[in-house]
Amino acid sequence: MTLRTRLRRWAVWRRLHLTPFGHVLLVGALAAAMLGVDTTRTTAYQVFSLLAALLLVAGLALRRLRVAAEVQRQLPTFATQGQPFSYVLTFSRLTMPTTGLQLFEQFRHDAAPTDLVEAHWTSDRQASVTWSPIRRGIWRSDQIYLCRTDPLGIFRTLSALPCPGRLIVLPAPLVIDPPRLPGQRRYQPGGISQSSSIGDSTEFIGLRDYRPGDPLHRIDWKGFARTGHPVVREYQDEYFTRYALVLDTDLPPRDTLRLDRAVAAAIALATQIDLQETLLDLMIVGTQTIHLTAGRGQLQLPDLLEILASAEARPGGLQALHTTLDTLLPQLTAVVLVLVCWNEDRQALVDTLRQQGVVVEVYVAEPLRTAGPAWLHNIP
């Protein structure tokens, strides 16, 4: 365990076990100890002695908290980074009155410091939590802490109630003009296609001679009667338009701000592509490209949002993307690239795609130092 991790854990432990007032006393005691180190020059050592005694006696006066309850957390599925939201905790079979009981939620994130959130009782059974997550991604909470302080209100004693929960935090929303992709209806009234599978539609295009293997219900009996040999009705083949949304994460791990903008842009683009009409291949560039397909009968928008929200920076991997795209390219109508920066490698990638006849829309998450190509979109 690194020192940084240890310090973080200790900070969480401290925040759970020491009240803000306790923190003030602790810092005061340390300051008084430093100032009063020479007892003949100042009387700060007397203040130190008092504060140390307060901390010690409060620690000794702490009794173990024995409490049991069942708790339900009504956590929303999604939240937005930096935006406060509230939810409710409902308790049943609580074995002690709520007076003097405090509640804490501890949210963990793989790539961010653990966050401690205090809940406030709204009634004997319910408490409300208001939290503003500081980082996008998946936050988890395994338990709810019930706490009680010592009589002086300096230390807390805890009891954990198991209550697993999970929250997807999306980056702050971005407004992006929808990409102009081929294969989409424009200027006509829209509507949801009734088809629920890929294959033949009900659009009749003609008759042809029966070939062994044709389903019997396709045989046009009237035609059979007229011609004397079996003919079958033939219908229009239908396929979904297929787009690829590529999120570039080839960044140093600490450069979170640019990646956040790229993720926000990718989310904005994904929400603007109609998954009822099209298939969307989401690719996240990394040492191994993550490739998922969304559309009707496939992954849905919430799944895409979750995957995008938890994207992390992974240096390298632009080459792996080339191979993944190469295998898919014949089926793709257009590719939407969300890039974290603009350089020669990325220019080459776009050129290769264009040469193969695919429509490419490019969004870049950093302001370009020199004027780039006119078709490059800057993410605001």
Partner 1 sequence: MMPQPTSGSRAAVAPAGLLGAAALFWGWQTGHLPLAVLFAVALELPALIRWRLDIRPLDLERLTDYTLIAGVIVAVVLASDKDLAGGALVFFAWLPAILLPLPLAQRYGGLPGLDRAALSWAVRRRRRRGLLPPAGLRDIDVTYPHLGLWLLAAGTVNPQGPLFFLASAGLLAWACWPMRRPGAGLAWLLTIACAIGLGHWGHHWLFRTQNLVENWASDLISHQVFDPYFTRTAIGALGELKTSSRIQLRVYPAPGEQPPALLRRASYNRYSAQGWRATERVYRLAPQFSPEVLWFTGPSHGHWLTIEAPLRRNQTLLLLPNGALELRGKTVEKLELADDRSMMVLASGERVTYQVRYDETFGNTDLPQVDDLVVPNAERAVLQNVLSQWPDIPATQLPATLTAWFRQHFRYSTHLTSGSGTPLSAFLTQTRRGHCEYFATATVLLLRSAGVPARYSSGYALSEYSPLEGAYIARSRHSHAWAQAWLDGRWVDVDTTPPGWWDEEAENAGWQKLADWSAWLWRRWGNWQPDQRLGLAAAGLAVLALLGIIVWSIMRARHRSTAAPRRSGSVSLADSALAQALAGLGLQRGAGEPLVDWRRRLGQVWPAERVDHIIELTLQDDRQRYDPAGGTVDQHALRQLLQQLGSSPPHRH
> Measured from the CB atom, is 169 or 275 closer to partner 1?
169
Q: How far is the CB of 60 from partner 1 (least distance, A)?
A: 8
* Shortest CB 84 distance to partner 1, Å: 6
Q: How far is the CB of 40 from partner 1 (least distance, A)?
A: 5
Task: Supply the minimum distance, in Å, between the C-beta of residue 337 and partner 1.
Answer: 23
Q: Which amino acid is at 129?
A: V
Q: Take residue 56 and report the two structure tokens written for it.
A: 């010690």
* In the complex, minimum distance from the CB of residue 5 to partner 1, in angstroms, rounded to a whole number: 19
- Residue 134: which of 188, 85, 194, 72 has the closest Cα? 85
For partner 1, the closer of residues 132 and 293 by Cβ is 132
Whichever of 39 and 319 has its CB closer to partner 1, that residue is 39
* Complete DSSP assignment for 237-297: EE--EEEEEEE---S-TT-HHHHHHHHHHHHHHHHHS-TTTEEEEEEE-SSS-EEEEESTT
Distance between CA atoms of residues 269 and 278, nearest Å: 14
Q: What is the 3-state secondary structure (H, E, C) of 98-130?
A: CCCCEEEEEEEECCEEEEEEEEEECCCCEEEEE
- Residues 353 and 3: their CA atoms lie apart, in Å, by 46
Give the burial string for 23-59 (b: 16+ CB within 10 Å, else e): eebbebbeebbeebeeeeeeebbebbbebbebbeebe
Rounded-to-integer distance, Cα 350 and Cα 248, Å: 13
- Contact residues for partner 1, defined by CB under 8 A: 19-21, 24, 27-28, 31-32, 35-36, 38-54, 56-58, 61, 81-84, 99-100, 102, 118, 132, 134, 147-154, 156, 256-257, 260
Query: Closest CB to partner 1 among 175 and 225?
Result: 175
Smallest distance from partner 1 to CB 61, Å: 5
Task: Please say which residue, 20 or 212, places its beta carbon nearer to partner 1.
Answer: 20
Pick 53 or 368: Cβ nearer partner 1: 53
